[in-house]
Amino acid sequence: MAIRILSVAIRNEMDTVTSRRRARQIAELCGFPTQEQTRIATAVSELARNVINYAGTGRIEFAIEGNTAPQVLIITIADTGPGIPHLELVLSGRYQSTTGMGLGLIGAKRLMDHFDIDTGAGRGTTIVLKKLLPPHAPLLSTAGLGDIGRRLAEPNDENAPIVELQRQNQELLQTLAELKARQEELMQLTRELEDTNRGVVALYAELDEKADHLRRADEMKSRFLSNMSHEFRTPLSSIRALSKLLLDRIDGELTVEQEKQIGFILKQSESLSELVNDLLDLAKIEAGKIEVRPAHFDIDELFSALRGMLRPLLVGERVELVFEEPRGVHVMETDEAKVSQILRNFISNALKFTEAGEVRISAQLLEEERAVCFSVSDTGLGIAPENQQIVFEEFGQVENRLQKRVRGTGLGLPLCRKLALLLGGRIELESEVGRGSIFSVVLPLRYGQPAQPAAAEPAQQESGTTPLLIVEDNVQTQLLYEKYLSGSEFRPILVRSIWEAERALESMMPAALLLDIHLGSEDAWGWLARLKADPVRSGIPVIVVTEVDDKAKGLALGADAFFIKPVFRDELVAMLQKLASQRNSSTTLVSG
């Protein structure tokens, strides 16, 4: 319960000066710095002047709320006047008044942490201002507040009103000097921004020029690769044909050394031909010249063709090539040649880097995605997590002990990724060093219907769709809230700090907000006051769940409910449902 410090009657213009002086004294005794003392005194004097101008008489009361630091200074200004018409327009600053009505209200609202107003014809106006004491201010007990009361009750200097007016004038002059200095700073910043803006414009022009050069260079690269790949194919075909001719002894017998050397020529020309083919395919994809020829085909027949095509790559009996029966699917409609090309690359890589064990090929229907997942798993060397992205980069290769024996082009996997994207699918990789890898390609059952990532299966009963923002930095408590809300209509959105909460509120409006007061060194009390003072976000119900036993202060700062940890599931969910229902009802009434 709030403890009263002082009450000041407002009957004439001189009382506005007195109220300002008293507000300054109380703010000083509560530990506020000089600037905050001025703000509090200015807010009180402006509202006291409104009482004189519009109601005639009134009263100002000063009190302290809270038994934990920081406490709250509460100032209540009440009158029995005619009330304030057009209140919403006045507080928004859109009301045009010849008397300046509303400027004092708006100014006081900006100067304080919290501002509440209750007004109406026949019942006058009551305004409640709240300001959090500084964190370093001493905790004011009943005895301390009594001491403040005694100091305020000391006889007043007869010249005190004049001194207060002089002090107010000095503050105005100081404020004007500060405003002038700020204006000069703003002018200097404006000039700097203009210079920066000119530099940014010039930079953008340069970047556009560079981007144009890069586009032209990329087009030239694609044309070069395409043209050169075509040009390389003819001599390579000749070299391979002639090598084969010689090895077949068409032109006579060969010595052992000659046969060995021609074998090397044939092998290297085949490797070079593979590189040229991959480069040509990549160039075609980048140039948008590759065609997709979708058609119905049987996956069992595709596996049979791949088995016969790739079995010659098995160099021993230590590795087994296994094709599983397709699960849930046998026919699909897409470009069979490109699917075969992707799987050939996967299987040949698996065979190259598997010394013992097996290479297993499977196909499975993904019903939720209307897609087929082809997987090639091996028991080979595996790929470290930090290298898993490298293997999909052009000419990217990971060094390993088998590299010298089975060197590749470094283009196979990048080509697979681009072919998968071309067919509307995606490539996935799971791998662990020493245990093997699983390369998968997910393709839509029918070309032209892109596969979407499957939604993760919930570990428990899924939460609802009503967003609930939870500001809590303790991981165990976050997990507890998730379990509490499982199966309810609320969907928890977990953040660990006020900064994260502010970012979340920029993109969403939750049905309610759970707030812990202990968030490291952050001022959660002050943020609660600012949140409830914000006209856009003040309607969000706030439930404080904390270890700080100061319910009165939490409710005074605007909290809609206050729980001391630990809070139990039934009471938390019941309060959330109650507040959400109240908010929905008020929204319906306003919109209706």
Nearest in space to 50 (alpha carbons), one of 100, 89, 119, 111 = 100
Domain range for 528: 466-591
Residue 162 belongs to a domain: no
Residues 370 and 262 in one domain: no
CA distance readout (Å), 462 to 427, 455, 466, 481? 29, 12, 12, 13
Q: Please tell me the predicted confidence (pLDDT) of residue 457.
A: 39
Residue 583 belongs to a domain: yes
Q: Please tell me the predicted confidence (pLDDT) of residue 589.
A: 46
Residues 322 and 348 in one domain: yes
- What does DSSP say about strands 466-471 and 436-444: parallel, antiparallel, or unpaired? unpaired
Whole-angstrom Cα distance, residue 388 to residue 385?
Answer: 5
Residues 277 and 313 in one domain: no
What CATH number has the domain bearing residue 552? 3.40.50.2300
Beginning with the edge strand found earlier in the chain, give each strand of the sheet holding 490-495 in spatial order.
490-495, 466-471, 512-515, 542-546, 561-564
Residues 370 and 271 in one domain: no
Residues 86 and 121 in one domain: yes
**Count of domains observed in the chain:** 4
Q: Please tell me the predicted confidence (pLDDT) of residue 548.
A: 85
- Render the burial of 512-535: b for 16+ CB within 10 Å, e for the rest: bbbbbbebeebebbebbbbbbbee
Q: What is the tens place of the pLDDT at every residue in 181-220?
A: 888 888 888 888 888 888 888 888 888 888 887 777 767 7
Q: Please tell me the predicted confidence (pLDDT) of residue 222.
A: 64
Residue 59 belongs to a domain: yes
Q: Please tell me the predicted confidence (pLDDT) of residue 139.
A: 86
Residues 316 and 411 in one domain: yes
Residue 551 belongs to a domain: yes
Residues in the chain predicted with pLDDT less than 70, given as ranges, are 1, 95-102, 153-169, 171, 173, 175, 218, 221-234, 271, 274-275, 277-289, 315-316, 394-410, 449-464, 584-592
What CATH number has the domain bearing residue 349? 3.30.565.10
- Bridge partners, 322 (sequence order): 360
Residues 10 and 141 in one domain: yes
Q: What is the tens place of the pLDDT at every residue in 134-176?
A: 988 888 887 777 778 777 766 555 556 666 666 666 767 676 7
Q: Please tell me the predicted confidence (pLDDT) of residue 229.
A: 56
pTM of the full structure: 0.50
